[in-house]
Structure 1
Amino acid sequence: MSKNRSIIHLDLDSFFVSVERVRDSRLNGRPLLVGGMGDRGVVAAASYETREYGVRSGMAMKVARQLCPQAIVIKGDASVYSKYSHEVTEIIQNRVPVFEKASVDEFYADLSGMDKFFGIRKFASELRQTIIKESGLPISFGLSQNKIVSKIATGEAKPNNERFIETGTEKDFLAPLSAGKIPMIGNKTFQKLMSLGIREIRTIQQMPVEMLESVLGKNGRTIWKRAHGIDEVPIIPFHERKSISAERTFNKDTIDMVKLKATLVGMAENLAYQLRRGNKLTSSISVKIRYSDFQTVTKHAKIAYTSADHILIPKIEELFRQLYTRRLLIRLIGIKYTGLVGGNYQINLFDDSEEMLNLYNSIDKIRNRFGEHSVVRAVTFGGTSVGRGENPFNGQPPVVLAHRHR
């Protein structure tokens, strides 16, 4: 690994909350929750003012309101947050040659070698100030020789600040911090470490790597390296064109709308599951039709970042209705999701309940264990929904869900 790398990690502070404050300055400094409004809603974002009461994102809104009754609650708007995310992306894209968009509100960039032209620290600070000035959103960054140390440094810089970690000082910077601040140490792993008396990163630094491996398995070595400030993960260059897609060519050209809808819904559902499995969101969808005379037509739509079936499927069906105008037999249909970024479907929770989140988690667990076609919507059952010739269920009957748009 080159010792001369300079990797910046930028993270928009309390992104959904900050966007709401840009839109309405009366919310500045006041406790604010963004998420589902009903008793079964979920907190998608919580302002710093609510956190001292024990509020955190992902908890039931009902519980959050009990903990912090004075909080203002706002139903989020995914399309607005997507717009601000695109704006910040453009600002970075216009100023940094190579960057990675890790999620809707998180970025990495490789600034290595920029000292030949101007100071990296100065450039990083000016980039942050430009984002704040042009978007109105607070943003923090960490700058070090690798992604992991920079990400942890950003966490220490927050809120709305910056932190530089000189090469060679990574271990000293990390040592006093909680072991839970190492990316990939979740709550369960942290509890296991605490039961062994490991609370600070310095304790991991003092342990033989083999001991950590015996406790945590194959992840032990990665965690040990991260505790020492060692990370070789490269920047993954951001391209809006990143995509996943599915197509179905029919054995016989068809105009059977039941069959066509079953195929569309099945492909949309399967691709949405692939997004969630890869912890991705899409911001653009397209539907393709090839008629029996081989004429091919495509229609695109920009959407708010999502990976939820119940949001994507109606959009896909709407695009198909707009596109299918010739009333000829159809030879092929296809779907593509583009503009992919990292991120879970917390962004979809503004009008969804905890029940919906739990349903997705349960369904995806079944699919992870028994295969991606082990759970299907009723509308696709019996149709050629998966876009493949073979039987996707391998002789096992799938779980069938009633098809219902919310």
Structure 2
Amino acid sequence: MERAIVHMDLDTFFVSCERLLNSELQGRPIIIGGGDRGVVASCSYEARFFGVHSAMPIKMALRLCPEARVIKGDMDLYSKMSHTVTEIIQEQVPVVEKASIDEFYLDLSGMDRFFGCYKWTGEIAKSILKNTGLPISFALSDNKTVSKIGTGEAKPLGKMEIKKNLIKPFLNPLSIRKIPMVGNVTFQLLSRIGIRTIQTLSEMPREVLQQLIGKNGGELWQKANGIDPNPVVPYSERKSISSEHTFSADTIDVENVKALITGMVEELAFKLREEKWLTSVVVVKIRYSNFDTETKQHKIAYTSADHTLTKVALELFKKLYTRRMRLRLIGLKFTGLVHGNHQMNLFEDTEELMALYQTMDKIKNRFGENSVGRALSFKYNSSV
């Protein structure tokens, strides 16, 4: 049985949500982000026309497009609208993977005999637009990589079908930047040796590509040749992420406890970014030596940034720990999660902080979670 894999992506999702609330924003260049030193979380096509793009510093974006309207953004609204779209899709599709807050993979394999996969997907897209007012684009092919690239080419409010015999002709003339796993570093590396189109990349010997960029070379070669066996993974919503530490001996050493909290935050925040989650609620738990247990929580703007979460967690601990009694356990939990492809809190964090976290995460992915971090957190890592 031939696979039928669809990629659906809500067009300029954050901007579209804001336009539902304010019709005056239609047709205007819009930037979603926050703060003078913040970065662009999303932008309208009108702003993109001037060269504005996601993760660009707000100041630079406004120099390119001074007429743009800057909106701070409302992750609660975006999360709610994303959930509505998810429910519409899940009601009509047997296997759905929610890749981020605004994009989905659908496995429609075997459904051709009932209705026709391309027509079926078109009806779902119409249903989403009718029931939510949100424009959505999609592409259908036989694997996730090709369908995702197809959606990018179909946008905005477009649709595309790339049949198996047309995959290579479709991919060949495109820039290697279109391949999802090709970041700026890989692009620059390949460009320097004259590899700029997917066709050129696909014709490169697989072994040479592996030697050039490492273990991911084989997977990149497959994608350039339109091969992607990865399945659509059924979507399930994660409710929280947490960690607890029970002391080997009850303690009253507050500075040590703060070090533990800092280390816990670093550990959990890294997992949030790795799995592409943002949290909106921080919960701290303590258990005294007499087994009395107390918790306190605080709602925050969606984030996965260590510095923000550490500050909140330490403030909660200060409010919680009111008795001069030894502690038996300390716990930390992040809940109120939304699944998004924005690995940082783009509404608050600066370009410098984003670069710092991205660099640290790369080091951790390569050398292990404890390979880099704040000096205070190493006290935590050495004690667990």
**Is the structural similarity TM-score above 0.5?**
yes
**284-293 or 215-224, larger mean C-alpha shift:** 284-293
Tell me, in whole angstroms, the C-alpha distance in 1 between the residues paired with 2:282 and 2:88: 24
When the two structures are superposed, what TM-score results if normalisation uses the length of structure 2?
0.84
One-letter code aligned to 2:185: K
Q: What is residue 395 of structure 1 aligned with on the other side? A: none
Tell me, in whole angstroms, the C-alpha distance in 2 between the residues paired with 1:376 and 1:114: 52
Give the superposed CA RMSD. Answer: 3.3
Q: What is residue 184 of structure 1 aligned with on the other side? A: 181
Tell me, in whole angstroms, the C-alpha distance in 2 between the residues paired with 1:172 and 1:241: 39
Q: Which of 6, 10, 13 in structure 2 is aligned with 1:8?
A: 6
> 1:27 and 2:21 equivalent?
no
Q: Give the share of equivalent positions with the same residue, in percent.
A: 54
Tell me, in whole angstroms, the C-alpha distance in 2 between the residues paired with 1:285 and 1:98: 32
Shift of 1:355: 3.4
**158-167 or 243-252, larger mean C-alpha shift:** 243-252
Tell me, in whole angstroms, the C-alpha distance in 2 between the residues paired with 1:319 and 1:202: 55
> 1:239 and 2:205 equivalent?
no
Note the residue ranges of structure 2 that are not aligned, 5 or more in a row: none
Tell me, in whole angstroms, the C-alpha distance in 2 between the residues paired with 1:291 and 1:16: 44
Shift of 1:272: 0.6
Tell me, in whole angstroms, the C-alpha distance in 2 between the residues paired with 1:98 and 1:283: 28
Q: What is residue 98 of structure 1 aligned with on the other side? A: 95
Shift of 1:283: 5.7
> Contact conserved, 1:82 with 1:304, CA < 8 A, in 2?
no
Shift of 1:9: 1.0
Q: Relative to 1, partners in 2 of residues 1:294 and 1:118: Cα closer, same or farther, differing over 3 Å?
A: farther
Aligned runs of 1:252-401 on 2, under 5 Å? 252-254=249-251, 259-282=256-279, 286-290=283-287, 292=289, 305-316=302-313, 330-337=327-334, 339=337, 341=339, 343-346=341-344, 348-361=345-358, 363-364=360-361, 372=370, 374-376=372-374, 385-386=380-381, 389-390=383-384
1:265-320 C-alpha deviation (Å, 9 max, x unpaired): 43123211232345443466554555556576777777654311233335545766
Shift of 1:226: 1.3
Q: Relative to 1, partners in 2 of residues 1:240 and 1:327: Cα closer, same or farther, differing over 3 Å?
A: farther
> 1:249 and 2:269 equivalent?
no
Tell me, in whole angstroms, the C-alpha distance in 2 between the residues paired with 1:71 and 1:335: 40
Tell me, in whole angstroms, the C-alpha distance in 1 between the residues paired with 2:115 and 2:302: 36
Tell me, in whole angstroms, the C-alpha distance in 1 between the residues paired with 2:121 and 2:325: 56
> 1:46 and 2:40 equivalent?
no
One-letter code aligned to 1:93: Q
When the two structures are superposed, what TM-score results if normalisation uses the length of structure 1?
0.80
Aligned runs of 1:126-141 on 2, under 5 Å? 126-141=123-138
Q: Relative to 1, partners in 2 of residues 1:371 and 1:328: Cα closer, same or farther, differing over 3 Å?
A: same
Q: What is residue 64 of structure 1 aligned with on the other side? A: 61
Tell me, in whole angstroms, the C-alpha distance in 1 between the residues paired with 2:295 and 2:314: 13
Shift of 1:44: 1.6
Shift of 1:91: 2.7
Tell me, in whole angstroms, the C-alpha distance in 2 between the residues paired with 1:50 and 1:362: 28
Q: What is residue 158 of structure 1 aligned with on the other side? A: 155
Shift of 1:211: 4.5
One-letter code aligned to 2:5: I
Q: Relative to 1, partners in 2 of residues 1:191 and 1:351: Cα closer, same or farther, differing over 3 Å?
A: closer
> Contact conserved, 1:289 with 1:333, CA < 8 A, in 2?
yes
**210-219 or 147-156, larger mean C-alpha shift:** 210-219
Tell me, in whole angstroms, the C-alpha distance in 1 between the residues paired with 2:4 and 2:319: 48
Shift of 1:27: 0.8
One-letter code aligned to 1:7: I
Q: What is residue 223 of structure 2 aligned with on the other side? A: 226
**280-289 or 184-193, larger mean C-alpha shift:** 280-289
Shift of 1:362: 5.2
One-letter code aligned to 1:219: N
Shift of 1:260: 4.4
Tell me, in whole angstroms, the C-alpha distance in 2 between the residues paired with 1:203 and 1:316: 50
Tell me, in whole angstroms, the C-alpha distance in 1 between the residues paired with 2:307 and 2:19: 29
Note the residue ranges of structure 1 that are not aligned, 5 or more in a row: 391-406
> Contact conserved, 2:266 with 2:373, CA < 8 A, in 1?
no
Shift of 1:31: 1.0
Q: Which of 15, 18, 21 in structure 2 is aligned with 1:17?
A: 15
> Contact conserved, 1:178 with 1:200, CA < 8 A, in 2?
yes
Q: Relative to 1, partners in 2 of residues 1:6 and 1:242: Cα closer, same or farther, differing over 3 Å?
A: farther
Q: What is residue 110 of structure 2 aligned with on the other side? A: 113
Shift of 1:148: 0.5
One-letter code aligned to 2:77: V
Q: Secondary structure at the match of 2:174?
A: coil
1:86-106 C-alpha deviation (Å, 9 max, x unpaired): 332233333333222212212
Q: Relative to 1, partners in 2 of residues 1:303 and 1:172: Cα closer, same or farther, differing over 3 Å?
A: farther
What is the aligned length?
382
> Contact conserved, 1:212 with 1:220, CA < 8 A, in 2?
yes
